Amino acid sequence: MSPRIVSLVPSLTEAVAASAPGLLVGATDWCTHPADLDVVRVKGTKNPDVPRILALGPDLVLANEEENRPADLDELRAAGLNVLVTHIRTLPQALTELERVLVEACGLPRPHWLDEAARAWAEPPALAPCRAIVPIWRRPWMVLGRETFAGDLLARLGVRNVYADADEPYPRIALDERRDADLVVLPDEPYRFTADDGPEAFPGTPAALVDGRMLTWYGPSLADAPARLSAELRAAFR
């Protein structure tokens, strides 16, 4: 019998839905892909509705050590649910963990899009090496720091994060004390940076507006991410 799955991670929701959509019975409000996903919503990644999840009777709950709170996952385990927690800070980890979720945990054949993603990243279209600051939030300003999945993807495209040696993954910074960079990379999630909201804070520095899903999600989008991100990064220097 096919397992009933609740996903508390947007990337994993899309990965399961693209591979075997009938397995999902619940997902968070932030699980926006695929657009036609029709499952019970269980609130957010940081505040899941535990009673609603329990009522769905899932065989497996998918989570991530960075996106979900340990206390919520412990509560689900204490109620007798099987919780699989992924650990993803690099592209190789993403590919390995996706296979663990889909093949080992869900019992699915290895999806073709996972092989396409591996091929796409084997020789990605890289820029000439440059140094970048990568904000993910403002008010307060927060940037990519050490050991992040998005930072690893950017490095593979020739972009070195100037805060890669920070003490934490997402440090707060003061703009008047920010480090020098050749480029500012502005994704549209989690904060929705736009042409009118973000570049003005970095006068004189080229700004690349990038698709946040391509930069931060690990799932089917990985197959398109190298070409898409490379084009968006190059556009900043035109």
Question: Tens digit of pLDDT for each residue in 63-112?
Answer: 999 999 999 999 999 999 999 999 999 999 999 999 999 999 999 999 99
3-class DSSP assignment, residue 224 = coil
The residue with greater pLDDT, 1 or 33, is: 33
Domain count, the chain: 2
34-38: average pLDDT: 95
For the cut 80, the answer to whether the pLDDT of residue 1 exceeds it is: no
Tell whether 115 is covered by a domain. Answer: no
pTM > 0.85: yes or no:
yes
Residues 105 and 136 occupy one common structural domain: no
Predicted confidence at residue 76, as pLDDT, reads 98
Q: What is the pLDDT of residues 155-190, one digit of tens each?
A: 999 999 999 999 999 999 999 999 999 999 999 999
What single DSSP character describes residue 197?
B
DSSP H helical segments within 57-90, as ranges? 70-78
Residues 230 and 147 occupy one common structural domain: yes
What single DSSP character describes residue 16?
H
For the cut 90, the answer to whether the pLDDT of residue 21 exceeds it is: no
Are the beta carbons of 223 and 116 closer than 8 angstroms? yes
Tell whether 79 is covered by a domain. Answer: yes
Q: What is the rounded distance in angstroms from the CA atom of residue 161 to the CA atom of residue 132?
A: 5
> How does 113-129 read in b/e, with b if 16+ C-beta sit within 10 Å?
bbeebeebbeebeebee
Are the beta carbons of 200 and 226 closer than 8 angstroms? no
